[in-house]
Amino acid sequence: MKFTVKDITSIGLFAGITAILSQIFIYLPITPVPITLQVPAVVLSGAISGKKNGVLSQVIYILMGIIGLPVYSGFKSGLGVLLGPNGGYITSFPIAAFLVGFVIMKIKRKGYFLIFTAMLSGLICIYIIGAIWLSISQDIFVLKAFTLGAGVFLPLDIVKISAAAYVAKRIFRW
C-alpha cells in the first residue's frame, strides 16, 4: 500500500483532531458515557480523508490510547478504557469512518443533505456498537444501554454532525 504525503498528513491530522476533541467533554450524572466532540472528528475523517485514510486515522487514535498516550476523554489511556463503558464507542470509530467514507465516495453530487445522511450512518454505527458494548460492560439490558448511551446524546450529536456536514460541504466546494 502506497501513501502520498497528502494521505499521511490527512491520517495524522484526523488522529490528532480526534485526540484533541476528545478532551472537550462533559460527564452527565445519568450515564457513564461523556459528551465529547469526537463524533464530528470521526465522521469528518471518513468524509474528507476517504474510507481508507479515515479508518487508519481512527486506528492510530485508538493505538495511541492503548500504548498509554492520554488521548481518550478525560486524558485517559490504556486498554482498560476500551474494556470499560466507553470502549464500544471508541472501537466503533474506524468502522464509522469507513462507512462515512464509503457512502461519500458513492455520492456523485455532494450536497449538504447527502453528506449529512452519510455522517448520520456513521453516527448510527457508533451508537449501535457503543450501546451494545455498554450493555455488556455494565451488565444492563440493551434497551437501557441504548437510552443511556445513545438516546440522551442524539439531539446534540445531530447538531454536531450538522456542523460537520457543513464543514465537509465547504471543503468539497473548495
- Tell me: the pLDDT tens digits for 87-96? 999 999 999 9
- Please state the pTM of the whole predicted model: 0.95
Residues 6+ apart with CB under 8 A from 71: 18, 19, 22, 61, 64, 65, 77
39-71: per-residue pLDDT in tens?
999 999 999 999 999 999 999 999 999 999 999
Q: How confident is the model at residue 128 (pLDDT cuts 50, 70, 90)?
A: very high
